[in-house]
Structure 1
Amino acid sequence: MLLLTPGPVQTRPETRAAMAVDIAPWDPDFGREYTMIRERVRDIAGGMAGVHATLPLQGAGHFVVEAAIRTFVPSAGRILVVSNGAYGERMTRLAREAGREPVVLAVPDTRGVLAEEVAEALAADPAISHVGMVYSETGSGVVNDPAAVGAAVRAAGRRLIVDAVSAFGALPFDLKAQPECDVVLFTSNKCLEGLPGIGFAVCPMERTRERAGLAGSWSFDLGDVLRHAERSGWGSFRFTPPVQALHAFGVAMEAYLAEGGQPARLARYTENMRVLRAGAERLGLRPYLDAAHQGPIILTLHQPEAPGFTLAGFVEALKRRGVLISNFYTTPTPTIRIGCIGAVTPDDMRFALGAMAGVLDELGVTRRAA
């Protein structure tokens, strides 16, 4: 089965095989492997040894986003949330339910936020301490620019939280160049092509130490994660970790580095997107985003307005042909979501396009109707 979702993504056989072992999390061999993983992802984030730390947390991306909000945004504090898609909306809810006050900067989900929009919102509300933004919005596929937004945040003397869950490892990010950034967040799956199960935060250590014990949650306190590592060693985990997933992530990291790291992964995903988008347009399917705003992570297409078309029917018919895509959408209008990330190639995109052509014929969707 060819898995084309924005997460979980298709993984390499050797990555999946690495799960089939029993590991003790306190074993020194695993501790050394875990320490190396932390150092490698810190380096990908543009972090510096002794200045920035990788702080893993069990669970989904939402868990580590909530942990970041709880850790860095003061209790009952205000956070400006850039909202141009479903994951900005979810950050807003996470902030509100953590007892913080979200101030929503609503932007159309068809373009990235502008730095001047952030600057204007911050100037209007001095009580805002942080800006929260999603790097790659997988609702529509649009990409925001953390460097440009970060410059506006830095100029205003505020702090930045970056949800890079579906961007990290492919789209560039450099903590050294963004001193206003409290944390960049991502997961073991998505663009690093590991198995799901672990969220990661890369943070400035001094800032994170200052916030230990202030999250209102022991589980979601990144300051406590750092404190534990400094006390017990960088190869240790506070609570029982998803050891097999971490081990598989180490294997995925080896493949990432062997491929050429971030530039090579971005190049492959960009070509995946180019092939898929051009082919979908030839099939008569209309992209949700203009090409100028299209990111390389996921292609979102308008659903055909044809009597025989339903999203559920399209997904199931594709599955019978060996291609699995998302069976839901998060845009205001009905769309189809097809991921371009994971251990997939442009040839896989061509295979998927052939399957899509067959399904559209089966459902009686003509090029004109699409």
Structure 2
Amino acid sequence: MFQEQVLLRIPGPTPLPPQVERAMNRPITGHRSGEFSRLFAETAERLKLVFQTQQDVLILAGSGTAGLEAAVCNVVSPGDKVLVLCGGNFGERFVKICKAYGANVLEVEASWGDPIDPELVAATLAEHPDVKAVFATHCETSTGVLHPIREIARRVQATAALLIVDAVSSLGAVDLPMDDWGLDIVVTGSQKALMLPPGLTFLALSERAWDVVANNRTPRFYFDLRAYKKQLQARTTPYTPAVSLLYGLDEVLKLIEAEGLPRIFDRHLLLQKMTRRAVQALELPLFTTDEAASPTVTSVGVCDFDVEKLRQALRTAFNLSVAGGQQHLKGQIFRIGHMGYCSPADVLQTIALLEVGLFQAGAPVALGRGVRAAQEVYLTHKEAVTHG
């Protein structure tokens, strides 16, 4: 009916707040001008709140994967032994990047849908005390699992290894206090909880990490984080920045500052609970346990109906996009994103449309049951907040 009425409920990119869209339509200014330098320096400083760090936050033009590669090539020299924690597609991506830079890669694996076992991390590090860095994924977007980074960090801190965290689909939605938990490098991207289009990646490094970067032998140019840190002190970037996205970032930070991190984290937990209870009420399997589930994406487990037919029905009837499975889970699961610019009203709408799509895909579904379950979670939550 309305071709531009797009309902995006995938784990990224996520919908954009209208004020962010308007900000990005501002006329472009010179990226070496005083006006831009002020904006750049201010937004970089304000990003420390999101990372919960006192360290500098670096801003690079590039995707989240660019940030992951930057973390690898600034820390890893050829032949270095590293440990990658792998429980899904994006853990496997860290493996591929590390191998591309000549690292000697060890892996701690978890079945897709299960969290990484911190004790297995500790045992592996005890067996290999020469591991230089541990690479972990906070939210594994391909499975909807939130890995226990705080517990993993405690095990890594007992060693000389750095802990490098992919927080692309969690930072800004899930509590991840970089300094308090002792994380050495945290990487995120613009197109998830930070409510921007793809195109920016952000990194913050501990003092320990900067020492390693300074002595790393791997050649790098565009991704040389030393250049970004040096130019940040001059209130600029070493290479052309994504000017329009930084206009949008300024507005995003205003929204985050106004809502406050505790309320943001609470909102995402509410969205998670509403979605999961709705899925259960519709008698669909969840791919992860409640304890391991991410607040930003819900994975619906292996179904006895045609998942791709469901996704097609939702796109055709409502222009609603939910994500499918990746790799061996393609066609077996689907994933609902609920992060960033997403409210309880959005979840209720998504569940109502999902019920219709399930019916059209031939799944046995009792219309209204999922919506009611989500409504009950919402009302219980609001009552608890009111009387808490």
Please name the residue that 1:256 is paired with. 256
Which of the numbers 21, 25, 47 marks the counterpart of 1:20?
Answer: 25
The answer on whether the counterparts of 1:85 and 1:331 sit within 8 Å (CA) in structure 2 is no
The answer to whether 1:352 aligns with 2:358 is no
C-alpha deviation, 1:327, in angstroms: 4.2
Please name the residue that 2:112 is paired with. 109
Determine helix, strand or coil for the equivalent of 2:175.
Answer: coil
The answer to whether 1:340 aligns with 2:345 is no
Please name the residue that 1:153 is paired with. 156
The answer to whether 1:201 aligns with 2:200 is no
The answer on whether the counterparts of 1:139 and 1:331 sit within 8 Å (CA) in structure 2 is no
The answer on whether the counterparts of 1:70 and 1:215 sit within 8 Å (CA) in structure 2 is yes
Aligned pairs for 1:1-370 within 5 A:
1-21=6-26, 22-48=28-54, 52-179=55-182, 181-205=183-207, 207-208=209-210, 211-212=213-214, 214-230=217-233, 233=234, 235-260=235-260, 262-306=261-305, 309-311=306-308, 313-319=309-315, 320-330=317-327, 332=329, 334-367=332-365
Size of the aligned set, in residue pairs, is 357
Render the CA deviation track for 1:127-150: whole Å, top value 9, x for unaligned. Answer: 211100001111111111222111
| TM-score, structure 1 as length reference | 0.91
Q: 1: distance between equivalents of 2:221 and 2:189? A: 20
Q: 1:332 to 1:362 in 2, by over 3 A?
A: closer
C-alpha deviation, 1:27, in angstroms: 1.7
The answer on whether the counterparts of 1:301 and 1:335 sit within 8 Å (CA) in structure 2 is yes
The answer on whether the counterparts of 1:67 and 1:215 sit within 8 Å (CA) in structure 2 is no
Render the CA deviation track for 1:146-192: whole Å, top value 9, x for unaligned. Answer: 2211111111222110111111112222232244x321111122112
Please name the residue that 2:378 is paired with. none
Render the CA deviation track for 1:284-340: whole Å, top value 9, x for unaligned. Answer: 22111122221211111124313xx241x3222212214222244346471101101
Determine helix, strand or coil for the equivalent of 1:291.
Answer: coil
The one-letter amino acid of 1:30's match is: F
Higher alpha-carbon deviation: 277-286 or 156-165: 277-286
Q: 1: distance between equivalents of 2:211 and 2:295? A: 35
Please name the residue that 2:379 is paired with. none
Percent of pairs identical after alignment?
A: 24
Q: 2: distance between equivalents of 1:292 and 1:228? A: 42
The answer on whether the counterparts of 1:136 and 1:143 sit within 8 Å (CA) in structure 2 is yes
The one-letter amino acid of 1:335's match is: I
Structure 1 spans left out of the alignment, 5+ residues = none
Determine helix, strand or coil for the equivalent of 1:202.
Answer: strand
C-alpha deviation, 1:120, in angstroms: 0.4
Determine helix, strand or coil for the equivalent of 1:341.
Answer: coil
RMSD: 1.9
Structure 2 spans left out of the alignment, 5+ residues = 1-5, 367-388
Q: 2: distance between equivalents of 1:331 and 1:41? A: 37
Q: 2: distance between equivalents of 1:259 and 1:19? A: 21
Q: 1:310 to 1:119 in 2, by over 3 A?
A: closer
| TM-score, structure 2 as length reference | 0.87
